[in-house]
Structure 1
């Protein structure tokens, strides 16, 4: 194995490691985005339920006009 071949193989390995790292970063970013969307959706559901509870109380107490 000559130096040029060793250098080429080292470059190939480095490129593959960088690509793997990029893929892992993309997966982490996608997971974070998905979690953020899930949290936002849950927040909207909680908000809607709270508003429904307020409306129910207003109906029950005759405060809703």
Structure 2
């Protein structure tokens, strides 16, 4: 009977150790997944900001070119009286 109790105790201890190990691994995996998601989000935001900056700059260039074309047409037809 004592041997059975001892074996049962060992089995319970191994089970508890395995459960603790599994919890720790799950927690570490969740931490890594969270960090990866944050990194992806940060990268996406950076790309979004870069795209917005590029579009802003492109818009300003188009506006400047259009204004230049308007000025050229006005000058050509004599409407650029300043």
TM-score between both structures, scaled by the size of structure 2:
0.72
RMSD across aligned positions (CA):
1.3
Q: Which runs of 4+ in 1 moved over 2 A?
A: none
Q: How many residues align?
A: 63
Which moves more between the two structures, 15-24 or 54-63?
54-63
Structure 2 segments unaligned to the other structure (5+ residues): 1-5, 69-82
Structure index of larger Rg: 2
Structure 1 segments unaligned to the other structure (5+ residues): none
CA distance in 1, matches of 2:51, 2:7: 66
Query: Structure 2 matches for 1:4-19, cutoff 5 A?
Result: 4-19=9-24
TM-score between both structures, scaled by the size of structure 1:
0.89
Structure ranking higher on relative contact order (CA contacts 8 Å, 6+ apart): 1
